[in-house]
Amino acid sequence: MGVATRLLGYIEEAWPGLAGDGDPVRMEQLLEADRLIGRHNESVLRALKADDSWPPLCRPMFAWPPADSPMITYKNRLILVGASLKNLEGATRNWLDKFEALLRRLYWESAFIRCEFGLYGPHEFRWRPPESWVKELCLARLSPIQEWSFESTLQELEKEKLHE
């Protein structure tokens, strides 16, 4: 018998904005960057395995709306994450490592995960790329995100348990 962990959250897809300052060439660069971001992210997510070793990070855990759905994709899309996993408490750090490896391959502006642990209760994790990366994004200059800020509601003692 195990303990269930509900895992839910989102990755906020990067959006370069539309601050073209009246310059049609700059505006087209921003629009093309936006299209490229959507195509790239979808390609990365579709390439995830259907099944994965423990703890899983696999394609069926993710969902996203079509890029051309303006009623539900204002400015940028949310890539949804969800799963019900057995006994994730002991493998949380490994799952976070897999999730962060995925973040390194996507273009995003923020990420949020809530884990409702059967043993530890609910905890939240947040990631944000550096401001310098966001400034480059707004200039339609894309590069992989390799560093970010990370926040967690886990206390140090609980973090140590999750790393054992």
At residue 164, does pLDDT exceed 70? no
Read off the pTM: 0.91
Place of tokens 């480059």: 136
Q: pLDDT tens, 80-134?
A: 999 999 999 889 999 999 999 999 999 999 999 999 998 889 999 999 999 999 9
Q: Where are the alpha helices (DSSP H) in 47-109?
A: 92-103
Q: Which residues pair with 5 in a beta bridge?
A: 85
Question: Could you give the CA distance from residue 19 to residue 33 in angstroms, rounded to a whole number?
Answer: 13
Contact 44, 106 (CB under 8 A): yes
17-25 long-range CB contacts below 8 Å, 24 or more apart? 17/137, 17/138, 19/138
- Of 21-25, 119-123, 139-143, which has the strongest mean pLDDT? 139-143
Both tokens of 160, joined, read 């140590």
